Structure 1
Amino acid sequence: MLLNSLVVFAPSRAFDERSDIYYYRVIQSINNALAPHEVRLRTCALEENDSDANLFLARMNEAETEAAILLGIDDPHIHDLAADFAKPCVLINCRDEGMRLSSIAPDHRLIGQFAARYLFEMGHRAVMNVMCLRRYTMELRLVGIKEAWRARNLRFTDGRDLIGVANFSARETEEQVGEWLDAQAGKPLPTAFLVGGDYMAVGAVNALQKRGLRVPQDISVMSIDGFNLAAIQDVPLTAVHVPRDELGTEAVQLLQQRLIRPQAPSGSLLLNGTLAVRDSVRRIRPGSRRTAVEQQGLYDD
């Protein structure tokens, strides 16, 4: 490569595998992509929003900082500062609304749409969505999910079809899903849960099983993640894998292009997800007898 040193700016949790395994592995993939070129990787913690601009400027002004990657940093002021530097900078899983920096990210909207469509194609119509919407990327997944509903002439209502969770933890999700299940008090239940992360899927499955509901015999569970847990409670988890290792690899390639052609147009590269079919989603065949937890008219007004 045409550089010797690269700085990755990311939220502090990204450097702790227990706090954010996804970003942690993305940073590992950047390091792996740089290793054959003997490029030194340095890191600096910044908040997602209201970032420390002085810290960013100090690190960028260091002589050994030849290029930068911003991972999950949403602060537009930081984006503007990065774009003003003569040093190449690429964004991962965030976007420059000023359209001056190139970025790479999962196609969150399409991934959400694809996951919801898969459940519909498996015969499910009554689907409960469990999402953490702490960031716009998760909101994009929900936009895609709603698009899949509209394509099936189904009306999505947030108050009825969405359980919002404050974070991605199994415990929080189990509590929220459990409270929702208890509140149904004999009402018809969905045939499937679409959950926005593997650890969240753990919580959803725990809540279901503690109430005597089997996965997938009674209720199917699908995750949008799929890297962290291949199986939950001995149930192999069907999931849409969100690109992770590819982000680091392609970001390094994108950075190399910026080094070779600094005046080239900037743009966004969106990566597709990958379906991993396992055993947590069962097919509901047209005309087949419905399960005890699935009743006609679940979402009718």
Structure 2
Amino acid sequence: PSVASVAWARSCVYATGITGPLDKTPARLRLEGYRAAMKRAGLAIPQGYEITGDFEFGGGFDAMQALLAHQQRPQAVFTGNDAMAVGAYQALYQAGLRIPQDMAVIGYDDIELARYMTPPLTTIHQPKDELGELAIAVFIPRMAQPALQQQRLQLTPVLTVRGSV
């Protein structure tokens, strides 16, 4: 399932995103992927419902507080990483809102803490170990033969559905 399909299944009218700093390539790519998935699912992201964070706990907290100040509260939020999801959880808790009953939360990175949160965080798993192994497998032969053609490495992230949706 995709982020958008999870939001769609909840019949969300207002889905939102908390992005990382847009001067960082991973943040831009994640935002582009989120927007594309929402568009494919036919879900609009209303003006003002995307907030730029900083990939930190506090940034997720502050961004969620800003989103909760909207007249129409979002029903689902995608955060650009799991650390910001932790901050968003805290803001929702302080506002007396329940996850996922009042708002679905989806993170990105699948950090170890994600499975121990209450409820466990639905997140996009990035196959970092596999990417590292693949990078070394390409790098070592290239060290021996610098003229080898450059390769682009890309692995597909996977949505890990847990209790926050």
TM over 0.5: yes
Q: How many residues align?
A: 163
**Can you list the C-alpha shifts for 1:209-268, whole angstroms capped at 9, x where unaligned?**
111110111111110111231232x21111111222222211110112324554332121
Deviations 1:111-169 (A, max 9, x none): xx943344334543421111112402211111111112222334445x4220111x222
Matched, 1:151 2:40: yes
* 2:65 counterpart residue number: 178
Distance 1:266 1:195, change over 3 A: same
Q: Which moved more, 1:218-227 or 1:167-176?
A: 167-176
Q: How does 1:198-209 map to 2 (within 5 A)?
A: 198-209=82-93
1:127 and 2:12 correspond: no
Identity in percent: 31
> Is the counterpart of residue 252 in structure 1 residue 136 in structure 2?
yes
TM-score after normalising by structure 1: 0.49
Higher strand share: 1
Partner of 1:130: helix, strand, or coil? strand
Which of 116, 136, 144 aligns to 2:25? It is: 136
- TM-score where L is the length of structure 2: 0.85
Structure showing greater Rg: 1
Does the C-alpha gap of structure 1 residues 256 and 117 become closer, same or farther in structure 2, counting only changes over 3 Å? farther
**Is 1:115–1:224's contact at 8 Å kept on the other side of the alignment?**
no
Native 8 Å contact 1:198 1:228 kept in 2: no
Structure 1 portions without partners, runs of 5+: 1-112, 282-301
CA distance in 1, matches of 2:59, 2:79: 13
Q: Which residue does the alignment assign to 1:69?
A: none
Alignment of 1:1-301 (within 5 A): 114-132=2-20, 133-157=22-46, 159-165=47-53, 167-181=54-68, 183-184=69-70, 187-229=71-113, 230-232=115-117, 234-259=118-143, 261-281=145-165
Query: Which deviates the most, 213-222 or 146-155?
Result: 146-155
In structure 2, the residue matched to 1:56 is: none
User: Contact 1:116/1:194 (CA < 8 Å) preserved in 2?
Assistant: no
